[in-house]
Amino acid sequence: MIELTDLARQTGIQYSGRSIAISALNTLADAQPDELSFLQNKNYLAQLETTKAGAVFVTAEMAEHVPLSSIAVVVDEPYLSLARASKLFAPALIDVDAPLAVVGEGSHIAEGAHLARGAVVGKNCIIMPGVYVGRGAVIGDNTVLHSNVSVYHDCRVGTNCIIHASAVIGSDGFGFATTKSGTHVKIYQNGNAVVEDDVEIGACVTIDRAAFGTTLIKEGVRIDNLVHVGHNCVIGEYSVLVAQSGVAGSTTLGRNVVLGAQGGMVGHITVAPFTTLAARSGVTKSIAESGKTFAGFPLMEHKLWLKLQGKLARLLKS
């Protein structure tokens, strides 16, 4: 917890109004009365007007839209101020005072695996050499972490999971605010990543932790090698991400979505359950109707993509 007045002072903001204790940063939609949020993009104005956040960074122009239950902290660049404030809430990577890691019965922790103080490993797990499990991270029963897997602090992996070598769970999301002079200010990624039960994750896969809240890989998902999942994504149950595909931040997939090899999705969209995306698909808009098959970039229905290739073949002969 940090007093709003202290937070303002430490982030270089002129502020002399009322103070409350702030426990975390969060989005307008999810923030609680002891949390601080921000409005940068006017598209989220409706969210500002109904936010439960205890305080909000806003520009002077938008201050009148802050609800009475919330404190308006007027700044020139709300997103930049948020970035500067985020460092104050970054959890420690290491806790030398935490108890030694707890390991359940029947688990094999190989020599050369590193369980941080404050980590928990369930029963009948196999933790191979070079694995790192961070402070506050929890690994469920019967899970196998292959060599050189990293599970960052505060992340969770469910039961009966298999994570292949050099995969990374909970690295920082790609978040920063850019100043007028072109330098970047890191938005500390204070959320976590959670992998539910019965998930298999391939080698050299990267799943970023959330800026706020949780990046979520739901039950039964299958992720192939070298796949990237951005911060705050939700990958629906039994979805399949084929090799070298990527999902940008804050995108939500329904259950049993298939993203083909080398496919990609932009951030902040929603993809309906049972959607199939051919290899190299590039998804730039939400998909509302479930059960359809798409291809191409720009994306189109797969049968249209085939038709387009026919048209191009004819164009080539013309």
**Helices then strands, each counted (H, E), the chain:** 4, 37
User: Measured from the CB of residue 182, what is the shortest distance to a second copy in angstroms?
Assistant: 5
Nearest to a second copy of 30, 219 (CB atom):
219
Q: Which of residues 60-89 bind a second copy (CB under 8 A)?
A: none
What x-and-dash track marks residues 200-239 binding a second copy by CB under 8 A? Answer: x-xxx-x-x-----------x-x-xxx-x-x------xx-
Contacts of 108 (CB under 8 A, 6+ apart): 125, 126, 127
Q: Is residue 104 at the binding interface for a second copy, with CB under 8 A as the rule?
A: no
Q: Which of residues 238-257 bind a second copy (CB under 8 A)?
A: 238, 240, 242-244, 246, 248, 255-256
Pick from 25, 1, 17: which is nearest to 188 by CA?
25
Q: How many residues bind a second copy (CB under 8 A)?
A: 79
Pick from 245, 225, 247: which is nearest to 234 by CA?
247
Q: Is residue 144 at the binding interface for a second copy, with CB under 8 A as the rule?
A: yes
What x-and-dash track marks residues 1-20 binding a second copy by CB under 8 A? Answer: --------------------
The two tokens of residue 257 are: 């979505």
Could you tell me which residues are beta bridge partners of residue 171? 208
What x-and-dash track marks residues 114-143 binding a second copy by CB under 8 A? Answer: x-x---------x-xxx-x-x---------
Q: Is residue 180 at the binding interface for a second copy, with CB under 8 A as the rule?
A: no
Nearest to a second copy of 156, 164 (CB atom):
164
Alpha-carbon distance of 265 to 101, in angstroms, equals: 37
The set of catalytic residues is 231
N- to C-terminal Cα distance for the chain?
Answer: 70
Nearest to a second copy of 99, 112 (CB atom):
112
* Structural contact between residues 273 and 236, judged by C-beta atoms closer than 8 angstroms: yes
Could you tell me which residues are beta bridge partners of residue 73? 57
